[in-house]
Amino acid sequence: MNKVNSELNPQRLPRHVVIIMDGNGRWAKQKKLSRLSGHKEGMKSASLAVKAAKELGIKYITLFAFSAQNWNRPEKEVIALMNLLKQYLESESKELVKRDIKLNAIGRLNELPDDVLDVLNSAIDLTSNCKGMTLTLALSYGGREEIIDAVNSIIEIGDRKAVDEKYFSGFLYTKDLPEPDLLIRTSGEMRLSNFLLWQLAYTEIYVTKTLWPNFRKSHLVRALLNFQKRERRFGLTSDQVKKEI
């Protein structure tokens, strides 16, 4: 693992890594355990991924923790997920401070249960002065919902007949975050699942068949190595990229 780590170029690390954490249910099914067991293991992987990202020098990491569509899951599972989220925030907040990691959250946060929202806000406040890395949790989040909310905010202000990308981006949940450089999706699924639809326009995508509960630092390193082998074009041709460099 140390040899693989040494292959990473610290000058070419993605600034912002986002992760669609998928596969908790399949992991549990393979082991003939409850879905809740899969979610618990997934929570452990989230803690390890954040720790690994900080150790490797990533400045921003965003985890797709609970989608706007997840509210449609069975009530028992939703309640269990909210309880796990609360436990994660309560158990990890002091550790985040210790590691100099600032907590952020995006999504329709007002839809979260009051007790969960209180714990979330407390953790955000506790870590507000941390500067080593920013961890963003996407909660009750949907990409389409984010765009709709941005449009409605612009309509409510009502002082413009037209907007450009920069102005529009200022109304997104992610207005204070850099655009993602690398998206990692676990479990082998090849879709965005309504995640950061606006922001992922030129993001590099890495898909691994590894189920999220099995995801460890070595998997993150492989994703970063793969990213460093790519030529990012942002819609330009190869020759144009070379000229920019």
Give the CATH number for residue 224.
3.40.1180.10
pLDDT at residue number 173:
98
pLDDT at residue number 241:
47
pLDDT at residue number 232:
82
Nearest to 180 by CA among 143, 130, 229, 132: 143
Question: Tens-of-pLDDT digits for all 245 residues of the chain?
Answer: 555 566 899 999 999 999 999 999 999 999 999 999 999 999 999 999 999 999 999 999 999 999 999 999 999 999 999 999 999 999 999 999 999 999 999 999 999 999 999 999 999 999 999 999 999 999 999 999 999 999 999 999 998 899 999 999 999 999 999 999 999 999 999 999 999 999 999 999 999 999 999 999 999 999 999 999 998 876 655 554 454 44
- Total structural domains in the chain? 1
11 occurs within a structural domain: no
Q: 28 Cβ partners below 8 Å, 6+ apart?
A: 34, 35, 36, 37, 38, 39, 41
Q: Rounded CA gap, 90 and 87, in Å?
A: 5
Q: 42 Cβ partners below 8 Å, 6+ apart?
A: 21, 23, 24, 27, 212, 213
pLDDT at residue number 244:
46
Catalytic residue selected from 5, 70, 214, 226: 70
Catalytic residue selected from 22, 24, 104, 181: 22
Domain of 36, in residue numbers: 17-142+180-244
Between helix 114-126 and helix 75-98 the angle, nearest 10°, is 10
Pseudo-torsion of CA 117, 123, 128, 129, nearest 10°? Answer: 170
Is 110 one of the catalytic residues?
no
Nearest to 180 by CA among 198, 166, 162, 158: 198
Q: Rounded CA gap, 14 and 126, in Å?
A: 27
Q: What is the pTM of this model?
A: 0.92
147 occurs within a structural domain: no
169 occurs within a structural domain: no
Is 22 one of the catalytic residues?
yes
Q: Rounded CA gap, 155 and 132, in Å?
A: 37
pLDDT at residue number 3:
52
57 occurs within a structural domain: yes
Q: Is 12:231 a contact under the CB 8 Å cutoff?
A: no
